[in-house]
């Protein structure tokens, strides 16, 4: 039974045989173990190194010959402790791997969207803008904001629009669809020609903004309170929406 138990604890058959022989003898030499067990001496030396490493036996080098001594049976708990440490380390690595995989560019045949829902009190466009800019510059050949927005956005975020275009990279431009409104005409004139807006007739009423920014799809509702923003990070969705808005822009 003890042999099976030790194997279940992770020891190999020859480790079990040699460990039990050393336990029976109390103190012995590798040569004696080889003779009694019938295992060749080279294998005994190799297995003993493994058992020493596992903390089950130790060498007594105080005499003229090397002696092997089995540690008390209670020391078997070291196998459990090592396994706990190994599993703990594996858990840390799994957590790290998940984080690193989530940060990889999604360039496989399909990708799972990363979606964030942001409530009104947590909407901070100044903090989000650099990330969106970086994505546009790296992944969008046009380096352009595409999409549409309702007129309420400009009324609420005029200061942010001025801030954004005062520091946006010179290669970035904007082409949006919107409803006719005086405020938008004024803001557009300030940031022309980089910021262009085409107005739909008043029969088409947008009630929220949808922007395509590199690999990001942003939906921002500001018509009524509570405001909210949805951010979807997905190259496939962003590409398809960008192609749609480019086509509408060119034909409208």
pLDDT in tens, 118-160: 999 999 999 999 999 999 999 999 999 999 998 899 999 999 9
Which whole-number Å values give the CA distances from 249 to 56, 145, 158, 183, in the listed order? 75, 12, 23, 21
Give domain status of residue 9, yes or no: yes
Give domain status of residue 237, yes or no: yes
Containing structural domain, residue 15:
2-71
Q: How sure is the predictor about 232, in pLDDT bands with cuts at 50, 70 and 90?
A: very high
pLDDT in tens, 75-114: 778 777 877 888 888 888 888 888 877 776 655 555 667 9
Residues 161 and 238 placed together within one structural domain of the fold: yes
Give domain status of residue 60, yes or no: yes
Q: How sure is the predictor about 115, in pLDDT bands with cuts at 50, 70 and 90?
A: very high
DSSP track, 87-145: HHHHHHHHHHHHHHHHHS---SSS-PPEEEEEEGGG--HHHHHHHHHHHHHHH-TT-EE
Phi, psi for 103 (deg, rounded to 5): -85, -10
Per-residue pLDDT at 233: 95
Per-residue pLDDT at 163: 96
Question: How many domains does the chain fold into?
Answer: 2
Q: Which helix (H) or strand (E) holds 167?
A: helix 152-167
pLDDT in tens, 6-17: 888 788 999 889
Which whole-number Å values give the CA distances from 165 to 4, 67, 136, 195, in the listed order? 73, 79, 15, 8
Per-residue pLDDT at 90: 87
Per-residue pLDDT at 2: 84
Q: 74 vs 119, which has greater pLDDT?
A: 119
Domain termination residue (choose one: 17, 40, 71): 71
Q: Taking the model in full, what pTM does it have? A: 0.57
Instruction: Give the whole-angstrom CA distance, residue 196 versus residue 28.
Output: 89
The enclosing domain of 60 has a CATH number of: 1.10.10.10
Residues 9 and 123 placed together within one structural domain of the fold: no
């Amino acid at each position: 039974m003890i042999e099976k138990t030790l194997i279940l604890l992770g020891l190999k058959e020859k480790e079990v045989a040699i460990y039990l022989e050393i336990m029976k003898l109390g103190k012995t030499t590798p040569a004696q173990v080889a003779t009694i067990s019938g295992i060749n001496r080279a294998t005994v030396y190799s297995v003993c190194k493994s058992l020493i490493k596992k903390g089950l036996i130790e060498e007594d080098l105080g005499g003229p010959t090397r002696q092997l001594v089995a540690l008390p049976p209670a020391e078997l708990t070291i196998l459990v402790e090592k396994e706990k440490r190994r599993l703990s380390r594996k858990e840390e690595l799994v957590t790290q791997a998940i984080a690193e995989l989530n940060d990889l560019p999604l360039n496989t045949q399909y990708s799972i969207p990363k979606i964030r829902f942001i409530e009104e009190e947590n909407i901070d466009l100044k903090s989000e803008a650099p990330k969106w800019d970086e994505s546009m510059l790296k992944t969008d050949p046009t380096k352009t904001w595409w999409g549409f927005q309702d007129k309420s956005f400009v009324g609420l975020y005029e200061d942010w629009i001025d801030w954004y275009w005062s520091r946006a990279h010179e290669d970035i431009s904007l082409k949006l669809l919107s409803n006719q409104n005086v405020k938008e005409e004024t803001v557009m004139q300030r940031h022309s020609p980089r910021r262009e807006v085409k107005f739909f007739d008043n029969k088409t009423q947008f009630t929220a903004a949808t922007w395509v920014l590199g690999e990001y799809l942003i939906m921002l509702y500001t018509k009524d309170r509570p405001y909210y923003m949805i951010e979807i990070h997905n190259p496939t969705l962003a590409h398809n929406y960008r192609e749609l808005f480019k086509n509408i822009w060119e034909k409208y």
